[in-house]
C-alpha cells in the first residue's frame, strides 16, 4: 500500500480500456484491490492481466454499467469478494462519437444514450455504494467529467450538458456526504489519447488538439494519476471540486 492511500478497495467502471484501465492500473499499483466492470470481456481480461502481472489485486465483472439492476448486483458481488468498497471511480461515459451533430439534427435516442451513460450512470453507481461509504465513515467518489462541460464543444451539446451535470452532482454530493468522511470530486479530462478520440470526426479532433496550450494530447496515465490523487489521503481536505486535466485547453 502506498503511504498516501488509505482506501483498500475500489470499483472502477468502464475499466476494460482507456482511462478506466489506466486508473485501475494506477490504483492497483498503490495497493488498492480493484473491481473492474465493463462490457468488453477481452478488454477486462487484459486489464486484469496487466494488474496481476505487476503484482496487484484485481477481480472483474462483465456488466452494462448503465443498467440499474446490473449496477446493484455488481456492487453486491464486488463487496462479497473484496470486502467493503471504499472508493468508486465513475468512469463510464462517452460522447456521441461519429453520431455527433448540431442539436437540431441530433436524434432523441443519441441524446438520451449520452446523458444516460455520462450522468445517470454516475448518479446510480454513487447511490449504490454510498451506504457502505457512510457506514465506514471514510470513502472517496471520483467521477470523470470532461473539459467539454466548461468549453461547451460544438456538436456535443448533450455530452457537454451531461458532463456539466457531473460537475453539479459532484458539488451536491460533496455537501450532502461531508459529515460522513466522504470526499466527492471529479476530474475533467481534456483530449486524451484513447479509442474514444478515434471515434471523433477528424475535424473535431484537429480543433481540440490545436486548442491545447501545452501542444499535445494527454495520455491515459495523466488522468489516472489525478484520480489516484483524489482517491488518496493527499486529497482528504478537498471535496466538491472538479480538477481539469487538459493541457490548459480550458482555464478557470
- Interface contacts to ligand NAD, rule CB under 6 A: 14, 16-20, 38-40, 43, 64-66, 91-94, 117, 144, 146, 189, 191-192, 194-197
Min dist. Cβ of residue 3 to ligand NAD (A): 28
Burial class (CB in 10 A: 0-12, 13-18, 19+), 12: buried
Alpha carbon distances (Å) from 25 to 18, 35, 50, 57, 231: 11, 11, 7, 10, 14
Q: How far apart are alpha carbons 37 and 74 in whole angstroms?
A: 8
d(CA 235, CA 210): 32
Q: How far is the CB of 80 from ligand NAD (least distance, A)?
A: 20
Cα separation of 134 and 11, whole Å?
16
Minimum distance, C-beta of residue 135 to ligand NAD, in the bound complex (Å): 27
Q: Is 159 a catalytic residue?
A: yes
Give me the sheet containing 58-62, strands edge to edge.
Answer: 58-62, 33-38, 9-13, 87-90, 139-144, 182-189, 242-245
Give 82 or 187: the residue with its C-beta nearer to ligand NAD. Answer: 187
Cβ 24 to ligand NAD shortest distance, Å: 11
Is the CB of 94 or the CB of 181 nearer to ligand NAD?
A: 94
Residue nearest to ligand NAD (CB): 18
Beta bridge partners of 41: none
Q: How many residues does the chain have?
A: 252
When the beta carbons of 38 and 86 are compared against ligand NAD, the nearer one is 38
Q: Which of 159, 185, 217, 228 is catalytic?
A: 159
Reference 246, options 206, 191, 197, 199; nearest CA is 191
Give the Cα separation of 67 and 240 in Å (integer).
26
Which CB, 5 or 124, lies closer to ligand NAD?
Answer: 124
By C-beta, is 4 or 113 nearer to ligand NAD? Answer: 113
Residues serving a catalytic function are 159
Amino acid at each position: 500500500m502506498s503511504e498516501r492511500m488509505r482506501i483498500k478497495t475500489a470499483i472502477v467502471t468502464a475499466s476494460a480500456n482507456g482511462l478506466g484501465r489506466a486508473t485501475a492500473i494506477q490504483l492497483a499499483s498503490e495497493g488498492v484491490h480493484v473491481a473492474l466492470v465493463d462490457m468488453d470481456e477481452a478488454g477486462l481480461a487484459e486489464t486484469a492481466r496487466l494488474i496481476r502481472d505487476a503484482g496487484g489485486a484485481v477481480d472483474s465483472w462483465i456488466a452494462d454499467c448503465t443498467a440499474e439492476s446490473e449496477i446493484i448486483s455488481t456492487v453486491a458481488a464486488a463487496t462479497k469478494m473484496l470486502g467493503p468498497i471504499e472508493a468508486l471511480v465513475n468512469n463510464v461515459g462517452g460522447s456521441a462519437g461519429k453520431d455527433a451533430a448540431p442539436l437540431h439534427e441530433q436524434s432523441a435516442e443519441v441524446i438520451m444514450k449520452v446523458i444516460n451513460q455520462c450522468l445517470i450512470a454516475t448518479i446510480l453507481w454513487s447511490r449504490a455504494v454510498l451506504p457502505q461509504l457512510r457506514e465506514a465513515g471514510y470513502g472517496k467518489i471520483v467521477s470523470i467529467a470532461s473539459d467539454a462541460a466548461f468549453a461547451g464543444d460544438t456538436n456535443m451539446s448533450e455530452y457537454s450538458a451531461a458532463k456539466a451535470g457531473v460537475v453539479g452532482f459532484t458539488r451536491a454530493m460533496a455537501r450532502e456526504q461531508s459529515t460522513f468522511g466522504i470526499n466527492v470530486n471529479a476530474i475533467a479530462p481534456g483530449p486524451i489519447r484513447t479509442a474514444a478520440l478515434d471515434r471523433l470526426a477528424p475535424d473535431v479532433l484537429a480543433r481540440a488538439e490545436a486548442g491545447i496550450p501545452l501542444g499535445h494530447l494527454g495520455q491515459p496515465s495523466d488522468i489516472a494519476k489525478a484520480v489516484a490523487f483524489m482517491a488518496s489521503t493527499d486529497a482528504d481536505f478537498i471535496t466538491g471540486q472538479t480538477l481539469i486535466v487538459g493541457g490548459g485547453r480550458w482555464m478557470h
